[in-house]
Amino acid sequence: MAPEPDEPLADVFDWPIEPATMPQVVSLLRGPSDHPRLIVTVNVALMWMASVDPRLSRIVQNSSLRVADGMGVIWSWRALGRRLPERVAGIDLMVELIAAAAQDGRSIYLLGAKQEVLDRLKEILVADYPGLEIAGSHHGYFVEGDHNKIVGDIRTSGADLLFIGMPSPFKEFWAAEHLDEVGADLVMGVGGSFDVISGFVPRAPRPMQKAGLEWAWRLACEPRRMWKRYAVTNAWLARRVVTALLRRRRAR
């Protein structure tokens, strides 16, 4: 989506993020493409990982589209005087794209999570989106020797959209490595979305989502795993934002 002349792409330290609402992003991605597209949903954790991993940074930079998944990204860029209209959460974008695929007669492939999660997820999606074609699926507990077989299965399935429900940075590495091989024209990593949609992991109540407090819900649900992640990544981002503001002040 080309930005308006007075609304440049928000520069996330080197990564332009699309300043678009959810409907605008869906409209941009809906329908076939003559080349495979890698969609990256950017949150603070991904930014931090990419800051210490040049390979991941290049993948994000070279992706077809980056959207602001985390509220930390939104708040930080507002502090820098840059406009991102709203959070485009990966799980919500996945659901919207699946709904569009069902309407447009396009098929999907689901890669990731446990088999029981996948089985329940497929039941829910077929019930919620009549006409949806799930071309295939594979659980996320595979080893490197399985990669070629899985790539072949995705390609043979003829799926138009591939959703990878696995953690970062693995999903970004895997998607980038096989983007031109899987045959799908849209590939998107969606983290733990399979577990949430299938009901195995609870999502924050809607009011908390709207208030930008979904991170607090995750912290309350998984304090041992999440507190260190948030402490490290948020402190890192805060330093980066403060540094950027100080440089801007000196430049003036």
User: Could you tell me if 220 and 102 lie in one domain?
Assistant: no
Is 12 inside any structural domain? no
Segments in 9-146 forming alpha helices (H): 22-29, 44-51, 54-62, 71-79, 90-104, 115-128
Torsion of CA 39, 43, 47, 49, to 10 degrees: -90
Q: Is there a single domain that holds both residue 191 and residue 217?
A: no
Tokens found for residue 55: 């390979």
**Same domain (yes/no): 234, 118:** no
Residues 107 and 176 in one domain: yes
153 and 222 both lie in a single domain: no
139 and 217, same domain (yes or no): no
Does 81 fall in a domain?
Answer: yes
In a domain, 26, yes or no: yes
The domain that holds 114 is classified in CATH as 3.40.50.10700
List the domain range (segments joined by +) for residue 217.
212-251
- Within a domain: residue 168? yes
Lookup: tokens for 192: 């733990």
Residue 189, pLDDT score: 98
- Token pair, residue 156, equals 């043979």
Peptide bond into 169 cis (omega under 30): yes
Residues 41 and 57: their CA atoms lie apart, in Å, by: 13
Q: Which residue in the block uniquely carries the two structure tokens 């980056």?
A: 66
29-64 pLDDT tens trace: 998 899 999 999 999 999 999 988 999 999 999 999
Q: Can you tell me the distance from the alpha carbon of 159 to that of 185, in angstroms, rounded to the nearest whole number? A: 8
Q: Are strands 10-12 and 15-17 parallel, antiparallel or unpaired?
A: antiparallel
Q: Are residues 135 and 242 in the same domain?
A: no
Domain tally, the chain: 2
pLDDT value at residue 10: 54
197, β-bridge pairs: none
Would you say residue 143 lies in a domain?
yes
Q: Which residue ranges of the chain lie beneath pLDDT 70? A: 1-14
**In the listed set 154, 174, 198, which residue is the last one of a domain according to the structure?**
198
Distance linking the first and last C-alpha atoms of the chain: 32
Query: How much is the pLDDT for 79?
Result: 86
Q: For residue 243, what are its two tokens?
A: 């540094």
Please identify, among 156, 174, 198, the residue that sits at the C-terminal boundary of a domain.
Answer: 198
Tokens of 199: 């009901």
Q: Within a domain: residue 98?
A: yes
How high is the pLDDT of residue 237?
87
Residues 237 and 172 in one domain: no
Q: Are 186 and 36 in contact (CB under 8 A)?
A: yes
Q: How far apart are CA 227 and CA 229, in angstroms?
A: 5
Whether 5 is covered by a domain: the verdict is: no
d(C-alpha 217, C-alpha 205), whole Å? 8
19 touches 84 (CB < 8 A): yes
**113 within domain boundaries:** yes
Nearest to 220 by CA among 196, 203, 236, 235: 203
Amino acid letter at 82? R
User: How far is residue 98's CA from residue 34's CA, in Å, rounded to a whole number?
Assistant: 19
> Is the same domain home to 61 and 180?
yes
